[in-house]
């Protein structure tokens, strides 16, 4: 339940919600005149970005909230006289569901924000309509907030190739799907192929889209006298870098389609069929660590090597979550899993380093509960990068063995201990003489045991053999120290050329 008087309008609650059941909306204040539910809450928006006297509301979908409490955990706004009371508090559903159902229906009817006016940071992205909602994922799932954010950022331009796994089960539990449509009736295109060939499947989407776009551009050039030289040139030269650019290109495509409506030639009819491909698509290859680190790694590596414009999102739970908790090459040293009950004895595979070694791949590691701004920035940069981009996203899972209400705290500990380093590797930075590697995490400030002691996957190993567990943790701690020193070196500015280098 939302206490509007305490709210600081940071929108962090909407960002962390795994089911898109709590939402923020900013809207013209005038739209609240008329038939407004008696219990609907609204306050003035604290800002002028969306016009004078804009209204602001946080609203919960009462029948879709799973009660995971992540929104309450992340809420920073507390009552000074009663710190236990926040701008968001959990409350029993039964007495509230009838009124809140009416409020939510009214909330959904309020106008969506103009995408061209939205700043792409944590607060403002949460005004964008999520096109991934009410999935069948576990309460507190650490994967789905990334998918929801992806749909908010890139909307109905998304084409998603999804590997088999948790993300394909809650992503396409037919006959329903959590992928939704916007007010224009458009939404992401989503498909699931196989566990072992998802990277190739997504690459095929890229090649297919490129072929359609190439054909559409060829037809525009050939039919320029018919559709108008100015319109044709504008369609071909459109930059399509920002939401404003995309909106303008869509307007041109609408004008083109209108011009072609009365045309009867074969080429004109073909252009009418493929002209939507003149609007830039955002293609994402999505899957878990079992796919990316193990069964589909050969195909993933092949895609990374090609330099094509595809984006890859690895939802890293460090275990085969969907099939019962088997170890993967992402499972960390000292953690228990099926086929590693006594604790994994080898270190976690460094998928990010393998991707970075190509030199022309954008690579980021993120953890939204530890540094949400860095997460949003990585998604924006990955999509803008002209070549292949991969984001490896830390994803708390029930297989880790703790109440996921504490998932945000565990993400912070994962980063603070150095267990999960945060960085962005952007080859474009070299052009300005900067290191392409940006270390987004501070040096480790707590030891590894501070993180691991909260999770059953580690405690099980300790209970079986405390001495062996201590040895595994010592190796894990040494790996953290070594890795951070290496990353710190990578992030250092390149040394200026010496005199001997110039001759």
With contact defined as beta carbons under 8 Å apart, do 85 and 79 qualify? yes
% the chain with pLDDT above 90: 90
136 pLDDT band (50/70/90 cuts)?
A: very high
The answer on pLDDT for 122 being more than 60 is: yes
Q: Are residues 250 and 331 in the same domain?
A: no
Residue 175 — pLDDT band, cuts 50, 70, 90? confident
Cα gap 138→170, rounded to integer Å: 9
122 within a domain of the structure (yes/no): yes
What band does 501 get if pLDDT is binned at 50, 70 and 90?
A: low
Per-residue exposure over 138-150, b if at least 16 CB sit within 10 Å of its own CB, e if not: bbbbbbbbbbbbb
Q: Which helix (H) or strand (E) holds 118?
A: none
pLDDT of 322 reads 83
Residue 111 burial by Cβ neighbours in a 10 Å radius (0-12, 13-18, 19+): exposed
Rounded to whole angstroms, the Cα distance separating 81 from 408 reads 26
Residues 437 and 328 in one domain: yes
Residues 241 and 326 in one domain: no
Last residue of a domain, one of 216, 239, 274: 274
Provide the β-strand partners of residue 60.
22
The separation between CA 420 and the C-alpha centre of its own chain, rounded to angstroms, equals 17
For residues 222 and 337, membership in a common domain is answered with no
CB neighbourhood size of 428 (10 A):
15
Residue 460 lies in a domain: yes
Distance CA 421, CA 411 (A): 11
Q: Do 394 and 473 belong together in one domain?
A: yes
Work out the pLDDT band at 471, boundaries 50, 70, 90: very high
User: The domain that contains 77 carries what CATH number?
Assistant: 3.30.70.20
Kindly state the average pLDDT of the residues 109-118: 94
Q: Is residue 501 included in any domain, yes or no? A: no
Does 477 map to a domain? yes
Q: What is the pLDDT of residue 80?
A: 93
Identify the band that residue 43 occupies on the pLDDT scale cut at 50, 70 and 90: very high
Among 69, 94, 128, identify where a domain stops. Answer: 128
Read off the pLDDT of each residue in 242-270 and give the average, rounded to a whole number: 95
Do 368 and 462 have their domain in common? Answer: yes
| Residues with Cβ within 8 Å of residue 463, at least 6 apart in sequence | none
> Cβ-count burial of 2 within 10 angstroms (0-12 exposed, 13-18 middle, 19+ buried)?
buried
User: How many other C-beta atoms are found inside a 10 Å radius of the C-beta of residue 84?
Assistant: 7
What CATH code is carried by the domain that includes residue 415? 3.40.50.970
How far is Cα 154 from Cα 125, in angstroms, rounded to an integer?
10
Query: 264 or 480: whose pLDDT is higher?
Result: 480
Query: Is residue 455 classed as helix, strand or coil in its secondary structure?
Result: coil
pLDDT band of residue 86 (cuts 50, 70, 90) is very high
| 88 and 221, same domain (yes or no) | no
409 is a domain residue: yes
pLDDT 10s digits, 432-454: 999 999 999 999 999 999 999 99
Q: Output the average pLDDT for the chain.
A: 95
Q: Is the pLDDT of residue 497 over 70?
A: no
**Do residues 463 and 388 share a domain?**
yes
| pTM check: above 0.75 | yes
Q: Using the CB atoms, write b or e for 259-283: b if 16+ within 10 Å.
A: bbeeeeeeebeebbebbebbbbbbb
Cα–Cα distance measured from residue 154 to residue 383, given in angstroms and rounded to the nearest whole number? 9
CA dist., res. 367 & res. 249, Å (int): 34
The reported pLDDT for the residue numbered 340 is 81
Whether residue 213 is found in the same domain as residue 98: no
User: To 10 degrees, what angle do helices 466-491 and 456-464 make?
Assistant: 140
| Residue 502 banded pLDDT, cuts 50, 70, 90 | low
Task: Give just the sign of the alpha carbon dihedral 11, 410, 139, 297.
Answer: positive
CB count within 10 Å of CB 258 equals 10
Q: Count Cα neighbours of 275 within 13 Å in the Cβ-side half-sphere.
A: 28
> Which helix or strand (DSSP H or E) is residue 43 part of?
strand 43-44
Q: d(Cα 408, Cα 13) in Å, to the nearest integer?
A: 12
- Give the chain's domain count: 3
Q: Between the CA of residue 486 and those of 175, 295, 346, 370, 426, what are the distances in Å?
A: 48, 28, 19, 22, 17
DSSP per-residue string spanning 320-355: BTTTT-B--TTSPTT--BBTBTT---SPPP-HHHHH
Q: Is residue 330 part of a domain?
A: yes
What pLDDT shows up at residue 35? Answer: 86
pLDDT of residue 499: 64
In this structure, the answer to whether residues 4 and 88 fall within a common structural domain is yes
Evaluate whether residue 487 is within a structural domain: yes
pLDDT for residue 121 is more than 60: yes
Structure tokens at 309: 């414009």
224 and 102, same domain (yes or no): no
Q: Which residues contact 76 (CB under 8 A, 6 or more apart)?
A: 8, 10, 12
User: Mean pLDDT throughout 156-161?
Assistant: 97
Query: Among 243, 274, 305, which residue terminates a domain?
Result: 274
Give the model's pLDDT for residue 316: 97
Is 472 in the same domain as 340? yes
**Domain boundaries, position 367:** 318-491
pLDDT band, very low/low/confident/very high, at 29 (cuts 50, 70, 90): confident
pLDDT band at 336 (very low <50, low <70, confident <90, very high): very high
Identify whether 368 is part of a domain.
yes
pLDDT tens, 360-374? 999 999 999 999 999
Q: Please determine, for residue 164, whether its predicted confidence score (pLDDT) is greater than 70.
A: yes
Long-range contacts of 203-208, Cβ-Cβ distance < 8 Å, separation of 24 or more: 203/285, 203/302, 203/303, 203/306, 203/308, 203/310, 205/159, 205/161, 205/283, 206/283, 206/308, 206/309, 206/310, 207/308
How far apart (Å, rounded) are the C-alpha atoms in residues 199 and 292? 9
86: which strand partners?
78
Alpha carbon distance 28, 17 (integer Å): 25
Going by their DSSP bridges, the two strands 189-192 and 158-162 should be labelled as parallel
């Amino acid at each position: 339940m939302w206490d509007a008087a305490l709210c600081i309008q940071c929108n962090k609650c909407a960002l962390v919600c795994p089911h898109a059941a709590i939402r923020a909306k900013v809207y013209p204040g005038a739209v609240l005149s008329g038939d407004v539910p008696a219990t609907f809450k609204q306050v003035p928006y604290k800002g002028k970005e969306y016009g004078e006297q804009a209204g602001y509301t946080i609203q919960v979908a009462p029948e879709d909230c799973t009660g995971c409490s992540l929104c309450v955990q992340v809420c920073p706004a507390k009552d000074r006289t009663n710190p236990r009371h926040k701008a968001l508090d959990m409350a029993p559903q039964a007495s509230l569901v009838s009124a809140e159902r009416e409020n939510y229906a009214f909330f959904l009817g309020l106008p969506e924000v103009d995408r061209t006016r939205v700043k792409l940071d944590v607060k403002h992205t949460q005004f964008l309509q999520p096109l991934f909602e009410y999935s069948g994922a576990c309460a507190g799932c650490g994967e789905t907030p990334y998918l929801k954010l992806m749909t908010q950022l890139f909307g109905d331009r998304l084409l998603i190739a999804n590997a088999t796994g948790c993300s394909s089960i809650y992503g396409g539990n037919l006959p329903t799907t959590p992928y939704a449509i916007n007010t224009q009736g458009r939404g992401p295109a989503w498909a699931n192929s196989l566990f072992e060939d998802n990277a190739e499947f997504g690459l095929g989407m890229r090649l297919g889209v490129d072929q359609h776009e190439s054909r559409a551009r060829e037809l525009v050039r050939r039919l320029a006298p018919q559709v108008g030289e100015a319109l044709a040139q504008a369609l071909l030269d459109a930059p399509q870098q920002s939401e404003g650019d995309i909106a303008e290109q869509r307007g041109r495509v609408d004008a083109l389609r209108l011009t072609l409506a009365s045309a009867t030639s074969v080429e004109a009819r073909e252009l009418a069929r493929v002209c939507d491909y003149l609007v830039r698509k955002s293609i994402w290859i999505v899957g878990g660590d079992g796919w990316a680190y193990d069964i589909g790694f050969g195909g993933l590596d092949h895609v990374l090597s090609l330099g094509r414009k595809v984006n890859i999102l690895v939802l890293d739970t460090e275990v085969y979550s969907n099939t019962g908790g088997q170890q993967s090459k992402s499972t960390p040293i000292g953690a228990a899993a099926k086929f590693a009950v006594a604790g994994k004895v080898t270190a976690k595979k460094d998928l990010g380093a393998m991707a970075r070694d190509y030199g022309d791949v954008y690579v980021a590691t993120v953890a939204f509960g530890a540094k949400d701004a860095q997460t949003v920035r990585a998604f924006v940069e990955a999509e803008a990068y002209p070549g292949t981009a991969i984001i490896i996203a830390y994803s708390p899972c029930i297989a880790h063995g703790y109440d996921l209400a504490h998932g945000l705290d565990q993400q912070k500990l994962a980063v603070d201990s150095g267990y999960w380093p945060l960085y962005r590797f952007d080859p474009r930075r070299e052009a300005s003489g900067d290191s392409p590697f940006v270390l987004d995490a501070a040096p480790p400030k707590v030891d590894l045991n501070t993180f691991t002691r909260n999770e059953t996957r580690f405690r099980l190993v300790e209970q079986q053999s405390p001495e062996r567990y201590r040895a595994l943790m010592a190796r894990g701690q040494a790996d953290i120290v070594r890795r951070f020193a290496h990353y710190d070196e990578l992030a250092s500015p390149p040394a200026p050329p010496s005199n001997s280098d110039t001759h």
